[in-house]
Structure 1
Amino acid sequence: MLSPSHNFPIRVYYEDTDAGGIVYYANYLKFFERGRTEWLRELGIHQAFFLEQNLGFVVRKVEMDNLASAKLDDLLEVTSTIATLKRASLVFQQEIKNQSQQLLARASVTIACVDFNKHKPCAIPQSILGAFESAS
Protein backbone atom coordinates (compact mmCIF):
# COMPACT_ATOMS: atom_id res chain seq x y z
CA MET A 1 0.00 0.00 0.00
CA LEU A 2 1.53 3.31 -1.09
CA SER A 3 -0.81 5.80 0.52
CA PRO A 4 -3.03 5.92 3.55
CA SER A 5 -6.70 5.27 3.07
CA HIS A 6 -9.16 8.03 2.36
CA ASN A 7 -12.75 7.88 3.62
CA PHE A 8 -15.66 9.66 1.99
CA PRO A 9 -19.26 9.58 3.29
CA ILE A 10 -22.15 9.15 0.86
CA ARG A 11 -25.86 9.25 1.59
CA VAL A 12 -28.10 7.03 -0.54
CA TYR A 13 -30.67 9.18 -2.33
CA TYR A 14 -33.83 8.12 -4.12
CA GLU A 15 -32.06 8.60 -7.47
CA ASP A 16 -29.55 5.90 -6.45
CA THR A 17 -32.17 3.20 -5.90
CA ASP A 18 -34.46 0.94 -7.85
CA ALA A 19 -38.23 0.77 -7.33
CA GLY A 20 -37.70 -1.34 -4.19
CA GLY A 21 -35.47 1.24 -2.48
CA ILE A 22 -32.29 -0.81 -3.01
CA VAL A 23 -29.16 0.77 -4.53
CA TYR A 24 -28.91 -0.18 -8.20
CA TYR A 25 -25.65 -2.12 -8.62
CA ALA A 26 -24.08 0.22 -11.20
CA ASN A 27 -24.41 3.16 -8.80
CA TYR A 28 -21.67 1.66 -6.65
CA LEU A 29 -19.34 2.61 -9.53
CA LYS A 30 -20.50 6.23 -9.15
CA PHE A 31 -19.84 6.06 -5.41
CA PHE A 32 -16.33 4.72 -6.04
CA GLU A 33 -15.71 7.53 -8.56
CA ARG A 34 -16.79 10.16 -6.05
CA GLY A 35 -14.50 8.67 -3.43
CA ARG A 36 -11.49 8.81 -5.76
CA THR A 37 -12.32 12.31 -6.98
CA GLU A 38 -12.74 13.74 -3.49
CA TRP A 39 -9.46 12.21 -2.35
CA LEU A 40 -7.67 13.84 -5.27
CA ARG A 41 -9.40 17.13 -4.45
CA GLU A 42 -8.14 16.93 -0.84
CA LEU A 43 -4.63 16.40 -2.22
CA GLY A 44 -5.02 19.61 -4.25
CA ILE A 45 -5.56 17.81 -7.55
CA HIS A 46 -8.58 19.26 -9.34
CA GLN A 47 -10.25 18.12 -12.55
CA ALA A 48 -9.67 21.57 -14.08
CA PHE A 49 -5.89 20.97 -13.86
CA PHE A 50 -6.23 18.00 -16.19
CA LEU A 51 -8.51 19.75 -18.65
CA GLU A 52 -6.14 22.72 -18.94
CA GLN A 53 -3.37 20.32 -19.97
CA ASN A 54 -5.60 18.12 -22.16
CA LEU A 55 -5.00 15.22 -19.78
CA GLY A 56 -7.35 12.97 -17.92
CA PHE A 57 -7.56 9.98 -15.65
CA VAL A 58 -9.69 7.35 -17.35
CA VAL A 59 -10.89 4.03 -16.01
CA ARG A 60 -9.13 1.21 -17.82
CA LYS A 61 -10.33 -1.76 -15.79
CA VAL A 62 -12.77 -2.46 -12.96
CA GLU A 63 -13.22 -5.62 -10.95
CA MET A 64 -16.14 -5.24 -8.55
CA ASP A 65 -17.85 -7.54 -6.07
CA ASN A 66 -21.33 -6.63 -4.85
CA LEU A 67 -21.69 -8.36 -1.49
CA ALA A 68 -24.77 -6.84 0.17
CA SER A 69 -27.41 -4.21 -0.51
CA ALA A 70 -27.56 -0.59 0.55
CA LYS A 71 -30.96 1.01 0.95
CA LEU A 72 -32.58 4.40 0.57
CA ASP A 73 -31.23 6.93 3.10
CA ASP A 74 -28.35 4.71 4.28
CA LEU A 75 -25.15 6.55 5.15
CA LEU A 76 -22.24 4.79 3.50
CA GLU A 77 -18.49 5.23 3.62
CA VAL A 78 -16.23 4.80 0.60
CA THR A 79 -12.66 3.87 1.52
CA SER A 80 -10.01 4.30 -1.17
CA THR A 81 -6.39 3.17 -1.12
CA ILE A 82 -3.74 3.35 -3.83
CA ALA A 83 -2.43 -0.19 -4.24
CA THR A 84 -0.11 0.41 -7.21
CA LEU A 85 1.38 3.57 -8.67
CA LYS A 86 3.16 3.36 -12.03
CA ARG A 87 4.44 5.91 -14.53
CA ALA A 88 1.15 6.22 -16.45
CA SER A 89 -1.37 4.36 -14.29
CA LEU A 90 -2.49 3.57 -10.78
CA VAL A 91 -4.68 0.97 -9.12
CA PHE A 92 -7.16 1.91 -6.42
CA GLN A 93 -8.55 -0.64 -3.98
CA GLN A 94 -11.94 0.58 -2.78
CA GLU A 95 -14.64 -0.56 -0.37
CA ILE A 96 -18.09 0.63 0.54
CA LYS A 97 -19.43 -0.10 4.03
CA ASN A 98 -22.60 0.88 5.83
CA GLN A 99 -22.78 2.40 9.32
CA SER A 100 -22.68 -1.09 10.85
CA GLN A 101 -19.32 -1.60 9.07
CA GLN A 102 -20.86 -4.27 6.85
CA LEU A 103 -18.91 -4.56 3.60
CA LEU A 104 -21.35 -3.92 0.75
CA ALA A 105 -19.06 -3.68 -2.28
CA ARG A 106 -15.37 -3.74 -3.11
CA ALA A 107 -13.50 -2.92 -6.28
CA SER A 108 -10.09 -2.80 -7.84
CA VAL A 109 -10.01 0.11 -10.28
CA THR A 110 -7.15 0.67 -12.73
CA ILE A 111 -6.84 4.29 -13.83
CA ALA A 112 -4.69 5.43 -16.77
CA CYS A 113 -3.43 8.94 -17.44
CA VAL A 114 -4.33 9.84 -21.03
CA ASP A 115 -3.28 12.66 -23.34
CA PHE A 116 -6.59 13.74 -24.88
CA ASN A 117 -4.89 15.28 -27.93
CA LYS A 118 -3.12 12.04 -28.85
CA HIS A 119 -5.69 9.65 -27.36
CA LYS A 120 -2.84 7.66 -25.83
CA PRO A 121 -1.54 6.92 -22.34
CA CYS A 122 1.03 9.36 -20.98
CA ALA A 123 3.10 9.85 -17.86
CA ILE A 124 1.29 11.07 -14.77
CA PRO A 125 2.48 14.67 -14.18
CA GLN A 126 5.20 14.97 -11.54
CA SER A 127 3.10 17.38 -9.46
CA ILE A 128 0.43 14.70 -9.10
CA LEU A 129 2.95 11.96 -8.31
CA GLY A 130 4.38 14.28 -5.66
CA ALA A 131 0.95 14.77 -4.09
CA PHE A 132 0.47 10.99 -3.87
CA GLU A 133 3.93 10.50 -2.41
CA SER A 134 3.45 13.24 0.20
CA ALA A 135 0.21 11.54 1.30
CA SER A 136 2.10 8.32 2.09
Structure 2
Amino acid sequence: MFTYRSTLRVRYAETDQMGVVHHGNYASYLELARIEWLENLGFSYKKLEADGVMLPVYDLKFSFKSPAYFDDTLTVETTLATLPSASIIFDYNIYNEDQKLITTAQSTLVFVDMKTRRPIRCPENILDRLKQEGS
Protein backbone atom coordinates (compact mmCIF):
# COMPACT_ATOMS: atom_id res chain seq x y z
CA MET A 1 0.00 0.00 0.00
CA PHE A 2 0.92 3.66 -0.07
CA THR A 3 4.11 4.53 1.90
CA TYR A 4 5.59 7.94 2.73
CA ARG A 5 8.82 8.81 4.55
CA SER A 6 9.07 11.79 6.90
CA THR A 7 12.17 13.06 8.65
CA LEU A 8 12.53 14.90 11.92
CA ARG A 9 15.28 15.96 14.25
CA VAL A 10 15.08 15.00 17.93
CA ARG A 11 14.87 18.10 20.10
CA TYR A 12 16.54 18.34 23.51
CA ALA A 13 13.18 18.78 25.27
CA GLU A 14 12.11 15.34 23.98
CA THR A 15 14.89 13.55 25.86
CA ASP A 16 15.63 12.55 29.44
CA GLN A 17 18.84 13.30 31.37
CA MET A 18 20.64 10.53 29.47
CA GLY A 19 19.81 12.17 26.14
CA VAL A 20 17.40 9.34 25.21
CA VAL A 21 14.03 10.15 23.62
CA HIS A 22 11.24 9.63 26.16
CA HIS A 23 8.77 7.01 24.92
CA GLY A 24 5.84 9.45 25.21
CA ASN A 25 7.21 11.54 22.34
CA TYR A 26 6.83 8.78 19.77
CA ALA A 27 3.07 9.35 19.53
CA SER A 28 3.78 12.92 18.37
CA TYR A 29 6.28 11.63 15.80
CA LEU A 30 3.61 9.34 14.38
CA GLU A 31 1.08 12.17 14.28
CA LEU A 32 3.48 14.36 12.31
CA ALA A 33 4.14 11.48 9.93
CA ARG A 34 0.41 10.77 9.41
CA ILE A 35 -0.31 14.41 8.58
CA GLU A 36 2.57 14.45 6.08
CA TRP A 37 1.36 11.12 4.64
CA LEU A 38 -2.09 12.64 4.08
CA GLU A 39 -0.63 15.86 2.60
CA ASN A 40 1.56 13.85 0.24
CA LEU A 41 -1.58 12.09 -0.92
CA GLY A 42 -3.06 15.52 -1.71
CA PHE A 43 -5.29 16.09 1.33
CA SER A 44 -5.17 18.56 4.18
CA TYR A 45 -6.07 17.36 7.67
CA LYS A 46 -7.19 20.90 8.43
CA LYS A 47 -9.60 20.81 5.47
CA LEU A 48 -10.82 17.37 6.51
CA GLU A 49 -11.81 18.83 9.89
CA ALA A 50 -13.32 21.92 8.21
CA ASP A 51 -15.46 19.46 6.21
CA GLY A 52 -16.67 17.92 9.48
CA VAL A 53 -14.47 14.81 9.66
CA MET A 54 -12.06 14.05 12.48
CA LEU A 55 -9.75 11.09 13.00
CA PRO A 56 -9.30 10.21 16.67
CA VAL A 57 -6.81 7.51 17.57
CA TYR A 58 -8.55 4.28 18.55
CA ASP A 59 -5.52 2.04 19.08
CA LEU A 60 -1.78 2.66 19.29
CA LYS A 61 0.97 0.03 19.63
CA PHE A 62 4.74 0.42 19.87
CA SER A 63 7.71 -1.91 19.92
CA PHE A 64 10.92 -0.17 20.97
CA LYS A 65 14.00 -1.88 19.54
CA SER A 66 16.74 0.66 20.22
CA PRO A 67 16.87 4.20 21.64
CA ALA A 68 16.89 7.48 19.75
CA TYR A 69 19.01 10.33 21.09
CA PHE A 70 19.10 14.10 21.16
CA ASP A 71 19.90 15.60 17.76
CA ASP A 72 19.34 12.33 15.87
CA THR A 73 17.66 12.64 12.50
CA LEU A 74 14.87 10.08 12.39
CA THR A 75 13.00 8.77 9.37
CA VAL A 76 9.42 7.69 9.97
CA GLU A 77 8.17 5.35 7.28
CA THR A 78 4.35 5.42 7.28
CA THR A 79 2.49 2.73 5.36
CA LEU A 80 -1.23 2.29 4.91
CA ALA A 81 -1.95 -1.28 6.08
CA THR A 82 -5.23 -1.78 4.15
CA LEU A 83 -7.76 0.32 2.30
CA PRO A 84 -9.74 2.25 4.92
CA SER A 85 -13.40 1.73 5.75
CA ALA A 86 -14.68 3.41 8.92
CA SER A 87 -11.16 3.12 10.28
CA ILE A 88 -7.69 3.55 8.86
CA ILE A 89 -4.67 1.53 9.98
CA PHE A 90 -1.07 2.66 9.60
CA ASP A 91 2.13 0.70 10.11
CA TYR A 92 5.30 2.60 10.99
CA ASN A 93 9.01 1.92 10.98
CA ILE A 94 11.28 4.49 12.57
CA TYR A 95 14.94 4.50 11.56
CA ASN A 96 17.89 6.46 12.90
CA GLU A 97 20.39 8.20 10.63
CA ASP A 98 22.39 4.95 10.30
CA GLN A 99 19.22 3.34 8.85
CA LYS A 100 18.93 1.14 11.94
CA LEU A 101 15.33 0.21 12.76
CA ILE A 102 14.71 1.59 16.25
CA THR A 103 10.92 1.44 16.62
CA THR A 104 7.91 -0.17 14.99
CA ALA A 105 4.36 0.94 15.60
CA GLN A 106 0.79 0.63 14.42
CA SER A 107 -2.11 3.04 14.83
CA THR A 108 -5.79 2.68 14.13
CA LEU A 109 -7.84 5.85 13.69
CA VAL A 110 -11.58 6.11 13.17
CA PHE A 111 -13.36 8.47 10.77
CA VAL A 112 -15.86 10.39 12.90
CA ASP A 113 -18.54 12.94 11.99
CA MET A 114 -17.72 16.02 14.08
CA LYS A 115 -21.39 16.95 14.59
CA THR A 116 -22.78 13.56 15.59
CA ARG A 117 -19.53 12.18 17.01
CA ARG A 118 -20.40 8.88 15.34
CA PRO A 119 -18.16 6.76 13.11
CA ILE A 120 -18.55 7.25 9.37
CA ARG A 121 -17.03 5.66 6.29
CA CYS A 122 -13.81 6.99 4.82
CA PRO A 123 -14.55 9.93 2.50
CA GLU A 124 -14.87 8.77 -1.12
CA ASN A 125 -12.31 11.27 -2.43
CA ILE A 126 -9.64 9.73 -0.19
CA LEU A 127 -10.60 6.19 -1.22
CA ASP A 128 -10.53 7.16 -4.89
CA ARG A 129 -7.05 8.66 -4.54
CA LEU A 130 -5.74 5.60 -2.69
CA LYS A 131 -7.10 3.34 -5.41
CA GLN A 132 -5.30 5.48 -8.02
CA GLU A 133 -2.03 5.16 -6.06
CA GLY A 134 -2.46 1.41 -5.87
CA SER A 135 -2.79 0.95 -9.61
- Give TM-score scaled by structure 2 length: 0.93
Q: What displacement does 1:29 show?
A: 1.2
SS class of match (1:49): helix
Q: What displacement does 1:86 show?
A: 3.1
RMSD: 1.2
- Provide the C-alpha distance between the structure 1 equivalents of 2:125 and 2:132, rounded to a whole number of angstroms: 11
- Structure 2 runs not aligned, ≥5 long: none
**Which deviates further from its counterpart, 114-123 or 41-50?**
41-50
SS class of match (1:85): coil
Q: In structure 1, give the amino acid aligned to 2:41.
A: L
The number of aligned residues is 134
Structure 1 residues 1-136: aligned runs within 5 Å = 2-3=1-2, 5-136=3-134
- Provide the C-alpha distance between the structure 2 equivalents of 1:81 and 1:51, rounded to a whole number of angstroms: 22
- Give TM-score scaled by structure 1 length: 0.92
- Structure 1 runs not aligned, ≥5 long: none
Percent of residue pairs bearing the same amino acid type:
31
SS class of match (2:109): strand
Q: In structure 1, give the amino acid aligned to 2:69.
A: K
More strand, by proportion: 1
- Provide the C-alpha distance between the structure 2 equivalents of 1:74 and 1:108, rounded to a whole number of angstroms: 22
- Provide the C-alpha distance between the structure 1 equivalents of 2:82 and 2:15, rounded to a whole number of angstroms: 32
